[in-house]
Amino acid sequence: MAPNAGAEKAFSFMMDLGISKEEVKPVLIKLLRVYEGNWELIEDDNYRTLLEAYFDFEKEQVIEGERKPNASGHGQISTGEPFLVDGDDRVLPIMDSSSKKLSAEVKKSSSKKNIKPSQTFTEDDRPQTSSQALHSTMSEAKKTSNLPRGSAKDSSQTSARHRGQIEMNPVKPRAKKPKLVFSTNHNAGDLCVKPPSNQDQDLQSKNLVPACINNTRAYNGNITIASSSRLEEVKLSLNCESALAGLNFRIPDLDIAMKFMDRKYLSSSKTADPQFSTAKLLNDLCSIFLKLGLRKGSNSNLANTHTEYASLEERKPFNFISDMTKGSEKVKISLIDEFGGEALPKFNYIPCNIIYQSATVNISLARISDEGCCSDCSGDCLSSSLPCACARETGGEFAYTPQGLLKDEFLTACATMKTDPKDHHFVYCQECPLEKSKNEYMPERCKGHMVRKFIKECWRKCGCDMLCGNRIVQRGIACKLQVFLTREGKGWGLRTLEDLPKGTFVCEYIGEILTNMELYDRIVHESGNDRHTYPVTLDADWGSEKGLKDEEALCLDATYNGNVGRFINHRCYDANLIDIPVEIESPDHHYYHLAFFTNRNVSAYEELTWDYGIDFDDKDHPIKAFRCSCGSAFCHDKKQKGKGKIKKSGS
Ligand SMILES: C[S@@+](CC[C@H](N)C(=O)[O-])C[C@H]1O[C@@H](n2cnc3c(N)ncnc32)[C@H](O)[C@@H]1O
C-alpha cells in the first residue's frame, strides 16, 4: 500500500471514532517504527493495535503529567520524531536517517489536551529511558514471533533505528487472540459462539453446524458486558444479532469499547472522578439490581442460581448455519436460533420437487405443442413488441414486469380471489380425491376447490434465453433469506434480510410429490411428535376433470424433503406472501409449481408469512390444525380469540 494511503486510512478510521489526526499521529509514527512500516499489522483487526497503542499513550501521558506537575518547559510534547513526517504532515513508513521536527500542529494539539510528557526531546537529546527497555522487550517479543503476520527483523538492527523514539509504552505485538467471531468474508454465516455439544459435533460432521469457538462472554450474539459478580447472577449484555446477520459487522474488542466510554465521559464532565470506569459503573448497576431484586433470605441460593445458569446454557445451544441449502441454491440461506430453544429441524434440503413414489408427472417435450411455446423467440420475450405464445395463459400479457416483479394487476386479481372469494371462484369435482382419501367407499361431496390464476413461464422448447424476463421462478431463489426461530412459539420461520418490493418472487414451496392417498397414509401413520409442515394440495385443476385418477391427484409435502418454503408460517388474512401456481414444463395442471410472491413491500427482517387457508373449525381434516399465533388482527382461530397477548416464548 502507498505509505500515505495507509496513514490517511488510519486517520480517517480514528477520526470516525472522534480521535483527531493530531492525536493519532505521534502514536502512528511510533507504531510504524515498531512494526517497521508494516501497515498490515497496524490495520489488523480493525486497527486494534493502533487503538490499544493510542490508549496506552494517553494513559502514559496522564501518569507522566501527574508525576511532573507543571515542570517548566515540559508542558508540551516534543516528540523529537525526526523521521516519519514530511512537510505535508504525511506519515511515512520508512525509516530514514534525516531528521525533522514534528509539526507545531502536533505540539499545539497535545498541549491543548494538557498532556504532559516526561521530557522534552530534541533531535540530539533523545531519551534513553524506559522506552528503550520497553522497546527491547518488544523486539524480544517479536523474535518469539508473536506477530500475527509480517517479519521480525534482527533486534539490534531495529534498536539502532529506534533511537530517538518518544517515550510511551510501546505496544507489544499482539498474539492473535481468539475472536468471538471468526469470519473470512464477514458473513453473518460465520458466527458461532458456543462450545459445540456432542450433538453439534454430530451435526458438524453432517455439515449442518459450523465449528464453534468457546467464548464465555458471548452467547446468541449476546455479549455480556457487565455482571453482578463472577456468577453472573445479573448481567448486562449487548445484542448484536441483527448487526451480525445483516451488516458487515464483527464483534469489536470490549475493552477498547469500554476505554472509549471512559474517555467520552471523562472528557465531557469536568467533575468526573479520574478513576471513573464504565465497566465498574455497569458492574455496579448489575450488583445493585441483584441486591434490589433479591428476596429476603434468598442470598444462599446464589450458588443454585449459578448451577441453573449453567444447565440452562447447556440445554440451550445457540445455532447458526451459514447455508442450510448445503450449496444447492444460487444464494446462501442461513439459519439462526437466537434463543437456543429449539432443536435443529430434521429434513433434507432439496431445491426442486421430487416424486416420492406413485405420482404421475408427465413432463415431455412432445406434450408441449408449438402453440404452447415460443420457439421463434430469441433473447428476452418481454422486450419484443408483441407478447409471444407464452403470454396467452395470462390473457396475452406477461405476468412479469421488465424489472422481474409480478405485475400489480395480476397480483391484485390473485389476492382478491383469495381474500374475498366469490361462489364462482370455486369448482366442484364429481369424485373428490380429498373426500375419497378420507372415506374411499362413501366419500362425501366435494367441498370445492378454488379456481386459480396461473403464471406460465417459457421453457426448454422456447427459443428465448435463460435470462428471458418470463423465466423468474425457474431461475430459483434470488433474495437474501434467513430461517430463524420465531418468538411467538410458531417454531422456525422465514424472514427476508433485505427490503423486497411488492411482486418479488421469494421461493417455491418445494417438497415430495405425493399422490393424495400417499399423503393421507403418511399423515395417519406418522408419529405424533413430528411437527408436520403444512402440505399443499395441487388441486387447481381438479374441478375441470371428470374422473381424476389417484396418481394424478397430487400434493407437495415438505416435511422430510423440502426447501425454505417449508418454514413459511401461516398468517390469517394479511400475510405478506401469496402463493401462485406456475406452469413451467407441463401443460396440464395436475402438476405445477407453487411460487410465493410478496403482495406488498416487505422490509428487511420482516417475517415472511402465507395464509395457508386453514379452516380452524374443520375437525375432519386429517391434519389437526395448530393453535394460531399469527398475531393478525384478523386471526380466525377462535381458540386464540380473547386470549389476549400472543405467547412470548422462545419455544
Ligand atoms: C409449514 S410449517 C412452518 C415451519 C414451522 N414453524 C417449523 O418450525 O418447521 C407449519 C407448521 O408451523 C407451525 N405454524 C405455522 N404458522 C403458525 C401460526 N400462525 N401459529 C402457530 N403455529 C404455526 C405449525 O406447527 C404448523 O404445522
pLDDT digits (tens, 9 = 90+) for 466-476: 999 999 999 99
Whether residues 137 and 252 fall in one domain: no
Whether residues 217 and 131 fall in one domain: no
Q: What is the ipTM of this complex?
A: 1.00
In the block, cell 431484586 appears at 293
* CB-ligand 1 contact for 459 (6 Å cutoff): no
- Span of 116-120, 372-376, 456-460, 466-470 with lowest mean pLDDT: 116-120
* CB-ligand 1 contact for 630 (6 Å cutoff): yes
Whether residues 393 and 495 fall in one domain: yes
- What's the predicted TM-score (pTM) here? 0.56
Residue owning the nearest CA to atom 19 of ligand 1: 630
Angle at 522 between CA 521 and CA 523, to 5 degrees: 95
- Span of 208-217, 310-319, 350-359, 539-548 with lowest mean pLDDT: 208-217
Q: What is the pLDDT of residue 166?
A: 29
Whether residues 400 and 439 fall in one domain: yes
Buried b (16+ CB within 10 A) or exposed e, 141-154: bbeeeebeebebee
Whether residues 97 and 193 fall in one domain: no
Give the domain extent around 38.
Answer: 3-161
Ligand 1 atom with least separation from CA of 612:
16
- Span of 17-21, 57-61, 100-104, 499-503 with lowest mean pLDDT: 100-104
- In terms of pLDDT, which residue wins out, 477 or 298? 477
Q: What is the pLDDT of residue 326?
A: 94
Distances (CA, A) of 254 to 84, 207, 238, 443: 31, 31, 11, 67
Ligand 1 geometric centre to CA of 245 (Å): 23
Residue 192 CB partners (closer than 8 Å, separation 6+): 209, 210, 211, 212, 213, 318, 319, 320
Residue owning the nearest CA to atom 15 of ligand 1: 569
Does the pLDDT value for residue 641 go beyond 90?
no
Whether residues 400 and 465 fall in one domain: yes
Ligand 1 geometric centre to CA of 627 (Å): 9
Does the pLDDT value for residue 267 go beyond 80?
no
Whether residues 467 and 581 fall in one domain: yes
In the block, cell 452467547 appears at 219
Residues assigned a catalytic role: 509, 612
In a domain, 500, yes or no: yes
* CB-ligand 1 contact for 567 (6 Å cutoff): yes
Query: Could you read off the pLDDT of 125-139 as tens digits, one per residue?
Result: 333 333 332 333 333
* CB-ligand 1 contact for 509 (6 Å cutoff): no
In a domain, 281, yes or no: yes
* CB-ligand 1 contact for 610 (6 Å cutoff): no
In a domain, 553, yes or no: yes
Whether residues 296 and 354 fall in one domain: no
Query: Could you read off the pLDDT of 378-400 as tens digits, one per residue?
Result: 999 999 999 999 999 999 999 99
For 176, other C-beta atoms within 10 Å of its C-beta total 11
* CB-ligand 1 contact for 30 (6 Å cutoff): no
Please give the tally of structural domains in the chain.
Answer: 3
Whether residues 401 and 282 fall in one domain: no
In a domain, 515, yes or no: yes
Does the pLDDT value for residue 349 go beyond 90?
yes
Whether residues 156 and 192 fall in one domain: no
In a domain, 336, yes or no: no
**pLDDT-based confidence at 76, cuts 50/70/90?**
very low
Ligand 1 geometric centre to CA of 533 (Å): 7
> What's the DSSP call for residue 101?
P
In a domain, 623, yes or no: no
In a domain, 596, yes or no: yes
Burial of 572 from C-beta contacts in 10 A (0-12 / 13-18 / 19+): buried
The pLDDT mean for the chain works out to 72
Whether residues 268 and 357 fall in one domain: no
Angle at 345 between CA 620 and CA 347, to 5 degrees: 80
In a domain, 620, yes or no: no
Residue 169 CB partners (closer than 8 Å, separation 6+): 56, 57, 59, 60, 134
C-alpha cell at 138: 518488544
Whether residues 375 and 464 fall in one domain: yes
* CB-ligand 1 contact for 563 (6 Å cutoff): no
**Which residue from 339, 346, 533 has its CB within 8 A of the most atoms of ligand 1, so it is best to mutate?**
533
Residue owning the nearest CA to atom 11 of ligand 1: 533
